[in-house]
Chain A
Amino acid sequence: MLETSDVLILSRLQFAFTISAHIIFPAISIGLASYLAVLEGLWLRTGKLVYRGLYFFWSKIFAVGFGMGVVSGVVMSYEFGANWAGFSRFAGSVNGPLLSYEVLTAFFLEAGFLGIMLFGWKRVGARLHFLATVLVALGTLFSTFWILASNSWMQTPRGFQIVDGRVVPLDWLKIVFNPSFPFRLVHMSLAAFIVVATIVAGCAAWHLLKGRGSEGIRKSFSMAVGMILVAAPIQMIAGDAHGLNTLEHQPAKIAAIEGLWETEKGGTSLNLVGWPDMKEERTKYALSVPHLGSVILTHTWNSEIRGLKEFAPEDRPDSTIVFWSFRIMVGMGLLMLLLGVLGLILRLRNRLYDTPWFQRFALAMGPSGLIALLAGWITTEVGRQPWVVYGVMRTADAASPLSSQQVGTSLLILVIVYFLVFGTGIYYMLKMMAKGPDAGDQAAELEGDARQSTARFDRRPMSRATDPIDE
């Protein structure tokens, strides 16, 4: 048994590592694609060059992020079979088709509109180019749609029956639009927008601190801080609705998130901080507020919430992890809200661009969107345990018949390769951001663009960025 559990743990570590590295890039692509559509729309409407300059600048970073996302996604599409043969054998009839649609959507995009968007400024008219950008933005959201349908089905499976130990799909509408899907789709899409808003704000803040307050930098800072002010509260409402949905369908996950062991009578308190101990079945050093649990989780004063002890020990997710991953996510959200509100106050006082402590705060918050995104995914995925398909298949039954040597070796190789390759990719993106939107000459961008697209049919996303990497 020891061998099996080692393989299980190593496989879970490997999947967590590869998917966490992967999700960074699609999140940036999804958010940036929509930002680019907004920028181009504003350029068409106002004719102000500042919007087009920002479009050129961020489209290069989008292109590198998109390329990295495709490359890291290839690994995911083989890992399901390689490490999770039990799962793909059992549920491949549902997850496989949803994944195939994601791949088809992505290739459809890459085949057509992405090329026009990245290399077609001089080849097509302004309106058609704008259409291409909008379609790319919609396309990234369609990809999100399929991936989240697949993930949500694993959280709240519907529309199937089990025949001879395998899932047989009965109703694809019920499979795709399963109970947690709409909430997860909204929460994740908003998260991608917020990821990009915090990155854009951080990038602009860095240039402002360096004393480079050109129109493009000020404009992007203003847009990003404004976006955070609008999106952070909406995300909180969406997250709250997602939480109510989770309480209905995955009560053990909620109990683990809150470190709640007993079903408290006459109103549930909320542990603000503490250390849930899975062995002792209690939350140590808890600082709790009476009734707040009921208020947040059920929107009533004294509703009961089932504690972890109502679930058999083998059915409980790891409370120590999700308690803290959830609090990291919420903490980031609260800091973003603070950033947005402070930004509004400074804006009203005309001090938005020349308040160094605020720029330092925005710079520090640059990665906060990504941190919150990863913490949120850890919460929902670890909270699904010990099930791979909630209530239907246990993760322990999902692993492949591999040895721990094999999975240990592959994990080691993947960690090294990912740090080298995606480390370089992230370094390159940061390097371009450090150069800033003013470094590029717009006329040269258009000329280079025209040469590139007429001389050669060179439309790979990553060839859009031409900045040197090691100078």
Chain B
Amino acid sequence: MTIDLPTIWAGIIGLGVFLYVLLDGFDLGIGLLFPFFDRDGERQVMLNTVAPVWDGNETWLVLGGACLYGVFPIAYSALLPAVYLPVIAMLCGLIFRGVAFEIRAKAGRTQNLWDLAFILGSATAAFSQGLILGTLLQGIKTVDGRFAGDAFAWISPFPVFCGLGLMVTYATLGCGWLVMKTDGDLQRRMRVLLKPSSVVLLAIIGIISLWTVLGQPAVAQRWFGGHHFVYFSPVPLLVLACVIGIFRSADSGHEARAFILMEAIIFLGYSGLLISIFPNIVPPTLSIWAASAPRSSQVFVLVGVVIILPIILSYTALSYWVFRGKVRHDDEGYH
């Protein structure tokens, strides 16, 4: 039996993208929640909860991009022109928020400006990622592996809805993170936010699922053809269970539950996405095999990734472990 490299690589890059959404999602979410909280005290606590980890979280975006280029160059060169302006907007948003994050701590009278840059950067990045996801999900027309669709397909109702949906997802995730990482009044206010946002999130997931199934016969066939739905039905049922769990956790004493359940929802949503498009990497026609680089390129990069990925993973796990526990207002600033 020969090892199918494109499948292995699809797994690695899929894991990278998943980790990115899982990890950077909550710190982008904090940027989205930022405007609703008081400038001096609460915002600093919110930032302190992610200060040690946010830049590591973005590692996965760069690694995912570089590996996609090296291993699936056809997918990389077909996808990026199709979502050109959203990608540029996302990158600029991430630059702004990253630099604002660092400089805010060193700023005095200009702090308001950096706060604004942090908020707008986070919102732009989250919305653009949703646009990219929505454009990918609605299908990108390729001819002979080259992008041949409408350059502005991302300005249509479905991707825009996905953009807003991802903003809500990240904000809810950020909310769950802060319930876990803070206490007192800030935690109480986050709990209050949790209920409405999780209900909106459920509605958004439902609408996106229906929209995809109704709009794309191939996706409907994948989910409902034959006995497929019997195997796939746990996905939507578990999403429902998670939302109910989050809703109830808002009134209980559980502190980590909402965050863990939100991460589970993201995992389920991501699984749903993969069920809908696999083995295509750029739906509706470009499969992972058609998009692959030659075998020698895939083997060459795999050697490096097999050595370095475990190191990055353990380092990431270690930094979350060291940083476990609550962050309080009276904690020493550590910038």
Contact = CB atoms under 8 A, between A and B. Distances in A.
Interface of A: 67, 70-75, 77-78, 80-82, 85-86, 88-89, 92-104, 107-108, 110-112, 163, 166, 168-170, 172, 400-403, 406, 409-410, 413-414, 417, 421, 424-425, 428, 451-452, 455-460, 462-463, 465-471
Contact of B69 (A88, A414, A470): A88
B280 to A, nearest CB: 17
- Grouping DSSP codes into helix (H, G, I), strand (E, B) and loop, the B interface class, with mixed when no group exceeds half, is helix
8 contacts: A71-B95, A93-B297, A100-B69, A102-B66, A112-B311, A112-B315, A458-B52, A465-B106
B315 A82 contact: no
Given A92-B77, A103-B63, A456 B145 contact: no
A457 B323 contact: yes
B79 interface: yes
Most buried by A among B69, B71, B109: B69
Contacts of B148: 401
Contacts of A462: 102
B237 to A, nearest CB: 37
Given A67-B102, A96-B70, 4 more contacts: A89-B73, A89-B77, A170-B296, A460-B55
A71 B98 contact: yes
B304 A96 contact: no
B158 interface: no
Interface in B284-335: 293-294, 296-297, 300-301, 304-305, 308, 311-312, 315, 319, 322-323, 332, 334-335
Interface of B: 51-52, 54-55, 58-59, 61-63, 65-71, 73-74, 76-81, 84-85, 87-89, 91-92, 94-96, 98-99, 102-103, 105-110, 145-148, 151, 293-294, 296-297, 300-301, 304-305, 308, 311-312, 315, 319, 322-323, 332, 334-335
B311 A75 contact: no
A174 to B, nearest CB: 12
Contacts of A108: 308, 311-312
A75 to B, nearest CB: 5
B308 to A, nearest CB: 5
B48 to A, nearest CB: 9
In this complex, which of B52, B89, B293, B297 has the most chain A Cβ atoms within 10 angstroms of its Cβ? B297
A471 B323 CA distance: 32
A429 to B, nearest CB: 12
Given A92-B293, A96-B297, A457-B323, A111 B106 contact: no
Nearest to A176: B300
Given A82-B87, A88-B77, A466 B335 contact: yes
B294 A169 contact: yes
Contacts of A460: 51-52, 54-55, 102
Given A77-B66, A78-B65, A458-B334, A417 B151 contact: no
A358 B319 CA distance: 49
A74 B110 CA distance: 26
Nearest to B300: A97
Nearest to B147: A401
Contacts of B311: 108, 111-112
Given A400-B81, A413-B88, A456-B52, A85 B110 contact: no
Contact of B63 (A107, A417, A456, A463): A107
B77 A168 contact: no
A257 to B, nearest CB: 31
B107 A97 contact: no
A78 B77 contact: no
A176 B52 CA distance: 36
B80 A78 contact: yes
A470 B109 contact: yes
B181 to A, nearest CB: 13
Contacts of A451: 332, 334
Contacts of A94: 297
Nearest to B55: A460
A245 to B, nearest CB: 26
Contacts of A77: 62, 65-66, 69
Nearest to A470: B110
A107 B323 contact: no
A80 B84 CA distance: 11
Contact of B296 (A104, A172, A400, A401): A172
Nearest to A146: B304
Contact of B66 (A103, A112, A166, A469): A103
